[in-house]
Amino acid sequence: MSKTLSGTALEQVFDLIATSIDDAGVENERAFLATLALALAQKTGSVSDVADAVAAAKRAIEE
């Protein structure tokens, strides 16, 4: 990836997404997260960056 987040920025992102999941509500949570993933993918401008992130996420839920 070309850019990374500082520790403080990562904390802000953590809070923002956590509270947004709560705002979405349980019934819209999956739709919100999938939409967020797609919007972030477009921001990266890179298929290989998205593929790397998908691989990391897959690995994280395998175990």
Partner 1 sequence: MATYEGQRRSLYFDYPYYPFRRPAEMAGARPVHPVVIVGGGPVGVTAALELARFGVPAVVVEADDTVAEGSRAICFSRRTLEILDVLGVAPAVMAKALPWTHGTSYYKDKQVFRLEMPHGDQEKFYPMVNLQQCYLEKFIIDRAAEEPLIDLRWQSRVVGVAAGPDRVTLDIETPDGRYPLTADYVVAADGARSAMRNLMGLALKGQSYEGRYLIADILLKSHYPTERRAWFDPPSNPGSTILMHKQPEDIWRIDYQLKDGEDADIELQEDRIRARIADHLAFIGETAPWQLDWHSVYKAHSLCLDSYVHGRVMFAGDAAHLVPIFGVRGLNSGIADANNLGWKLAAVARGEALPSLLQSYSDERRAATLDVFDNAGKSTVFMTPPSRGYALMREAALRLSVHETFPRTLINPRQSQPFYYRDSVLNTADDPAFTGGPPPGSLPPNEKLPDGAYLSDRIGRAFSIIAFSAAMRDRLAPWLAQHSDISTLLLDGAGRDIFAAADDSLYLLRPDGHVAARWKHVAAAIAADSLDAALSRARGAL
Q: Applying CB under 8 A, does 21 fall inside the site for partner 1?
A: yes
* CA separation for the pair 59, 62 (Å, rounded): 5
46 CB contacts (<8 Å, ≥6 apart)?
2
Asked if 9 contacts 16 with a C-beta cutoff of 8 angstroms, the reply is: no
> Quick one: which of 2, 3, 10, 42 contacts partner 1 (CB under 8 A)?
10
Residue numbers 24-63 binding partner 1 by CB under 8 A: 26, 29, 56-57, 59-61, 63
Q: Which residues bind partner 1 (CB under 8 A)?
A: 4-5, 7, 10-11, 14, 17-23, 26, 29, 56-57, 59-61, 63
